[in-house]
Homo-oligomer: A and B are copies of this chain.
Amino acid sequence: MTSTRPRRTDALTLEVVELIGAVVARYHEEYEQAAGRHGLTGAQARVLGLLALDPLPMRQIAQRLKCEPSNITGIVDRLEARGLVERRPSPGDRRVKVAAPTDEGTRVAESLRESLDFAREPLAGLSREERVVFRDMLRRMLGVD
């Protein structure tokens, strides 16, 4: 059954790759717009969304976002100035500052998450079986077992 393995120039594979690129572009677009509606930049929205799941020390935010810790200082500064995030001391280590969302920050994060309907809504048109197939393909694409 090697006959179904795509060759390098396989038109179907190329189309799928292109579609994935389109999904990525669309996702980003919608994300930036949703952030903008709350007066946030994309980076600020990403940090807030991360903290809404779980408060984190500055350094760990940087690790999650794969950027330098020095960048996080400014982003959290701006979120803090907006009253969406606050820095808390860490009980065990006085060097560490834990960034946590305020009540309003939690609400904004929730609203942000819900405005990413672009992906969820079209999924509603799929049957459960189709969604399972889709999920498995995405998993395989990400190298998840």
What is A's interface to B at a CB cutoff of 8 Å?
Answer: 1, 4-6, 12-13, 15-17, 19-24, 26-29, 66, 116, 119-120, 122-135, 137-143
Contact = CB atoms under 8 A, between A and B. Distances in A.
Copies in the complex: 2
Contact of A27 (B1, B20, B66): B20
A141 B23 contact: yes
B6 A138 contact: no
B116 A17 contact: yes
A52 to B, nearest CB: 14
Given A4-B128, A27-B21, A122 B140 contact: yes
Given A13-B131, A135-B15, A66 B24 contact: no
A16 B131 CA distance: 8
Nearest to A19: B138
Contact of A23 (B13, B122, B142): B142
A13 B132 CA distance: 9
A24 to B, nearest CB: 5
B24 A135 contact: no
A23 B138 contact: yes
